[in-house]
Structure 1
Amino acid sequence: MTTFNLIATCAAGVEALVGDELRDLGYEVQVENGRVRFEGTEKDIAKTNLWLRVADRIKIVVGEFEAKTFDDLFEQTKALPWDKYVPMDGKFPIAGKSVKSTLHSVPAVQRIVDKAVAESIKETYHRRGMLSETGAEYPIEISMRKDRAMLTLDTTGDSLFKRGYRTEKGGAPLKENLAAALIALTTWRKDRPFVDPMCGSGTIPIEAALIGQNIAPGFNRSFLCEEWDWMSEEMWEEVRADADNQADYDIELEIYGFDMDENMIKIAEKNALAAGVSHNITFKQLAVANFKTDEEFGIMVTNPPYGDRMGEEEAVHELYKELGQAFRPLKTWSKYIITSDLDFEKYYGERATKKRKLYNGAIRTDYFQFWGKRNK
């Protein structure tokens, strides 16, 4: 099998988590801004697409070089071994970005790369005229940063956060891979209770159940590279069968999702059923102010409303006060709350043990962590 230079792309702030995931899968990694580099075969491309919970995409690095002129970009792009990846009838849409580079026009850069790839393929297959591009899709990205070009091939298709279980969603839903990141940043263990007191469509409890049952997050979806002729169907079947064998479908977890909106609870229950984890999550209509528990050493993770819209601030700040009043008495519980309101602690009524900057899509947020007493 061929060994490829690969990158797992991800949101800013979670690169170390993706690096840890890849190390746990047995890879040597190099963590960079917005991505983690590693090496692997076709089977590793399948395995990482299937198993990474926090990353966005798995891409093949086809080539990297310095390019300050369009001639440089054209000739060096054309010289890359495109015949290893793209067949004669392959579609190869070009995406691009340019940061602090001499070649700053993204449309112009994309046109040059498109022409160079087409010329390379035509020379390989001794074709003249236009290529048919009627086959599978091989999305190429040209990224220019400080005059250095990186050409990558996307293997994933729809972003890895699209697990395939979210049949419905409510307002301002949390992406599945960010929910997984929030859980990874806690001290939760499978023998402890886990609660999301404002669960919305259930993403955080569902991701916790997938982690608890060791179910590969991509198990119930397909990936773009499955359509490529050099990624065998038998290999995909083997990787999926291995993932199925690793899942612990019989483990009993104590996971709860509460929300004051009865409709959101119904949506959350449907989504948990689609994810195959409904037996391990208890969903219930409940307002934050009414939350009580006699259990100890639990973990609470939630994504409350941020109050970003005009007129919502006062109501949201009142909600944050209710959160503090309900949760502060739970001395042995650790609470983790993500919000874009950087004054959250003032309304919650307690200083966080630790804060971490994260991005919820394009929204800059803080992850406020209130650690409970340790279980001796």
Structure 2
Amino acid sequence: MKKVTLIATAAFGLEAIVKREVQKLGYENVRVEDGKIIFEGDLLAIARSNLWLRSADRVKLVIGEFKATTFDELFEKTKALPWGDWISEDAEFPVSGKSIKSTLYSVPDCQAIVKKAVVESLKNKYNVSWFDEDGPLYKIEVAILKDIVTLTIDTSGAGLHKRGYRDHIGTAPLKETMAAALIQLSYWNPDRLLVDPLCGSGTIPIEAALIGKNIAPGMNRSFASEEWPVISKDIWREARKETHDLANFDRKLQIIGTDIDEEVLKVARRNASEAFVEDDIHFQKMPVNEWRSAKKYGVIICNPPYGERLSEEKEIINLYKEMGKAFRAHDSWSYYIITSYEEFEKAFGKRADRKRKLYNGNIKIDYYQYYGPRPPKRDNENTKEDAN
């Protein structure tokens, strides 16, 4: 089967998580750069990585990489690449681009040159002079960093955070990919209770349920590369069969989501239903200062409001104070809070055991991690503290 080089893109700060996901799929020669994880595989790897990667943004196929400091170099070296091995005669192939610290800094010019070079290459392959571009989609990207050109084709289509369950979105939603990463950065495992006391539209509880049952996040959606003739339907059929074979649909989970807004909880319940995990999550209307649990050794993961506007700061500080009082009353729990508010620890009333810098879109955020004691081994044989 044809060998390929793939790039799984990731939000800054999540590269280690995505690397671990790639390695879990069994792929080797994995290397990490800012915002991307590069690995090798076969055609099946294109399908499997799109279906299984929880925290990556998308999967790109590398067509070629070379140095170019002139437009002539860019054209000739792009034209020499094997575009016809991948792109069908009827393909739609738009070109996007970016250039950082490079001689060829005009992105529109670079896009136009790459487009022209690909057209010339395909003319030679198919012996035609015109392409209608009314078939499968192949989004080409030209990325130039310090004069090194990387040419890729996007295999995903819609970003991998588009799981297919969240048609109903609440205010300022957390991306599904980020929610999955927050869970994987915590000490939670499927044998422990997980609570999101500010759950909004339910993204964190739903992603936890998918992880807990080992349900592939891309199981219920389609991808651009499914329409590529070079990847047979049998390959996709094999990859999708694996998602069903490995899913533990019958596993019992303890996941709770609470919020003060009944309308947004209705959205959360619909989203959970679309993800087929509605029976695994209990959603309940409740203010965070009333949250209590008699359980020991649970895990809280939440994405509270950040208070981006100055007028909201007093309200946000009061919320964080209430969270601190409620959470600290459960001293055997671990809790994890993500926010961009820089004085969070002061308002919360306790310094975090660890603080990790991440990005939610273009917003710099910190992931505050508070570690409770390890549950007794007899209660939870499988608990392992995540060194990340």
| TM-score past 0.5 threshold | yes
| Cα separation, 2, equivalents of 1:87 and 1:292 | 58
- CA positional deviation for 1:176: 0.1
1:285 alignment partner in structure 2: 285
1:303 alignment partner in structure 2: 303
- CA positional deviation for 1:234: 2.2
1:48 alignment partner in structure 2: 49
Alignment of 1:51-130 (within 5 A): 51-128=52-129, 130=130
Alignment of 1:363-374 (within 5 A): 363-374=363-374
2:169 alignment partner in structure 1: 169
- Give 3-state SS (helix, strand or coil) of 2:110's partner: helix
- Give 3-state SS (helix, strand or coil) of 2:214's partner: coil
| Cα separation, 1, equivalents of 2:333 and 2:220 | 33
1:37-68 deviation digits (Å, cap 9, x = unpaired): 11111111001100000001111110000000
Which amino acid is the alignment partner of residue 24 of structure 2? D
- Give 3-state SS (helix, strand or coil) of 1:215's partner: coil
1:210 alignment partner in structure 2: 210
1:348 to 2:332 alignment: no
1:235 alignment partner in structure 2: 235
| Cα separation, 1, equivalents of 2:3 and 2:35 | 23
| Cα separation, 2, equivalents of 1:103 and 1:238 | 42
Which amino acid is the alignment partner of residue 204 of structure 2? I
Identical-residue share of aligned pairs (%): 53
- Give 3-state SS (helix, strand or coil) of 2:301's partner: strand
Which amino acid is the alignment partner of residue 305 of structure 2? P
1:37 alignment partner in structure 2: 38
TM-score of the aligned structures, taking structure 1 as reference length: 0.99
- Report the number of matched residues: 375
- Give 3-state SS (helix, strand or coil) of 1:120's partner: helix
- Give 3-state SS (helix, strand or coil) of 1:92's partner: coil
Structure 1 regions of 5+ residues with no counterpart? none
1:263 alignment partner in structure 2: 263
- CA positional deviation for 1:309: 1.9
| Cα separation, 1, equivalents of 2:64 and 2:51 | 25
| Cα separation, 1, equivalents of 2:274 and 2:134 | 34
- CA positional deviation for 1:231: 1.6
- Give 3-state SS (helix, strand or coil) of 1:368's partner: strand
- CA positional deviation for 1:134: 1.7
| Cα separation, 2, equivalents of 1:87 and 1:299 | 49
- CA positional deviation for 1:373: 1.7
- CA positional deviation for 1:239: 1.2
* Cα RMSD after superposing both structures: 0.8
TM-score of the aligned structures, taking structure 2 as reference length: 0.96
| Cα separation, 1, equivalents of 2:245 and 2:93 | 36
| Cα separation, 2, equivalents of 1:312 and 1:364 | 18
Which amino acid is the alignment partner of residue 131 of structure 1? F
2:334 alignment partner in structure 1: 334
- Give 3-state SS (helix, strand or coil) of 1:134's partner: coil
- Give 3-state SS (helix, strand or coil) of 2:311's partner: coil
Which amino acid is the alignment partner of residue 177 of structure 1? T
Which amino acid is the alignment partner of residue 280 of structure 1? D
1:190 to 2:175 alignment: no
Which amino acid is the alignment partner of residue 35 of structure 2? G
1:277-329 deviation digits (Å, cap 9, x = unpaired): 11110000000000011111111000000000241111011000000010111
| Cα separation, 1, equivalents of 2:287 and 2:167 | 24
| Cα separation, 2, equivalents of 1:9 and 1:57 | 6
Structure 2 regions of 5+ residues with no counterpart? 377-388
